[in-house]
Amino acid sequence: MDFEAQDKKLPFDGPDKIDVAVLETFDYEYAGKDAEIEIQTDEFTSVCPYSGLPDFASIVISYVPDQKCIELRSLKYYLLSYRNVGIFYEHLVNRMLDDLAQCCQPNTMTIRGEFTIRGGLQSVITASYPR
């Protein structure tokens, strides 16, 4: 049986399926006092926009809140909404930064995506707010 891998493409969703509406915040009671919040996961997945094959990453979100903090349960749902989205790494990290910065309006925020090695190449993408 012949199988042309170059013609194979698994189905996936577009970035419009990223669920920003699930994000919630709570009041930061120490506004005016800088505290850096760092959130990490090594279980992040999205898919390759060419093949539909899964991509895996460690994501590190660090921010200094102003008035609001991101509620973690809602952040988990937000991150899970990427699971079947075909998106380039560089776009993913910048999209995440835009969504999360809009959600909580922090003093500063940095998103770092460390994507697993594929084909001998590892990609690490970092985006910061304010730019």
Which residue matches tokens 């094959």?
53
Q: DSSP string spanning 80-113?
A: HTTTTBB--HHHHHHHHHHHHHHHH--SEEEEEE
* CA dihedral (26, 32, 35, 36) positive or negative: positive
Is residue 27 part of the annotated active site? The answer reads no
Of 19, 27, 34, 55, which residue is the catalytic one?
55
Which is the catalytic residue, given 13, 48, 98, 99?
48
Residue 118, SS3?
A: strand
Residues with Cβ within 8 Å of 57's Cβ and at least 6 positions away in sequence, in order, are 44, 45, 46, 89, 113, 114, 115, 116
Q: Do the beta carbons of residue 79 and residue 59 sit within 8 Å?
A: yes
Catalytic: 55?
A: yes
Residues that are catalytic: 48, 55
